[in-house]
Amino acid sequence: MEDTLFPDTMIAVRPNAEILPEFLEFLWNGDVVRRQIEAMARTTNGTFKINQKMFERIEIPLPSIPEQQLIARALGQAAALRDQRRKAIALIDDLAKSTFLDLFGDPVKNAQGFESVPLTEACHPYSGGTPTKSNAKYWSGNLPWFTPKDMKHSDLWDSQDHISEQVPQETNLKLLPPNTVAIVVRGMILSHTFPVSVLRIPATINQDIKALLPKREIEPQFLAACLRAQSTHALQQVSTAAHGTKRLDGEGLGNISIILPSMDLQRHFTQKLDKINQIRASHQKYLNEADALFTSLQQRAFRGDMWDNQDN
């Protein structure tokens, strides 16, 4: 292969006649290459840095051109199926947002004249924490401990990290009840995204998240939707700490308003949202299956199983 190195930015790879560009794209993004890069190019801060010599040490499988065409075609079809499911889920998410706006309108403008109060009056923003690393037993358990990296979905059923069930009993870290609404209040993600999730299980959170514990009667799904509907306004309340980190402080939270329609209207919205979420869950199941199919095909292809089977 011919290659040109652009220092400190990227490596541009130009495949020669022995390898197809579409095959190389799937190969480069697969486990075969990633594992080699992780083994030799991880830096102390967890990022990856690869230079010319490291690049030249990467080994790749190189089947024949017809076999590369077969692999690229199969992976391309699997990837297209996966992309279709993702687009369907995105449309369903848009439907959830539009359902809220159809019923209640823009909560910032509040054209329908619902009672409106600052978020800090509607809820108590509780900040979590991190158990001490010096106590190993605190980090051995099954209790979900959510951090901003988990806040990627509307409803959360588990976290990447877990702590001991003893932590809420022995420290100030609170065990939150199911259906608690949580928001990210610190981190660079707030430069472009305002994550809002509903914690569907008893859980704990770290200090970069706030759990919104209602002071007023309010449906959790309604509260979460109200916050998502004004994400642009919420991001306008984000400030920058001295060390450059983005944060949504107490003043910023107080500038976010929550409308309070009747509980009947809130429950009506929740019922509609439950039906939408049932459809979303079905599509998510199919997406998970498409992801598994793509991963399986990718592993088989780059182990050589796919083209070996073609000879039988």
CA 294 vs CA 30, 243, 301: distances in Å: 11, 41, 10
308 pLDDT higher than 70: no
Q: Which pairing describes strands 123-127 and 196-199: parallel, antiparallel, or unpaired?
A: unpaired
Task: List the domains of the chain with CATH numbers.
Answer: 1-62 (no CATH), 115-260 (3.90.220.20)
311 pLDDT higher than 60: no
pLDDT given for residue 3 in this prediction = 38
- In DSSP notation, 62-74 reads ---HHHHHHHHHH
CA 23 vs CA 18, 69, 200, 297: distances in Å: 11, 7, 41, 13
Q: Which pairing describes strands 257-260 and 115-118: parallel, antiparallel, or unpaired?
A: antiparallel
102 pLDDT higher than 90: yes
pLDDT confidence of 312, banded at 50, 70, 90? very low
pLDDT tens column, 245-269: 999 999 999 999 999 999 999 999 9
pLDDT given for residue 46 in this prediction = 54
Backbone angles phi and psi of 299, in degrees to 5: -65, -45
pTM of the model: 0.73
226, 234 Cβ separation under 8 angstroms: no
pLDDT confidence of 178, banded at 50, 70, 90? very high
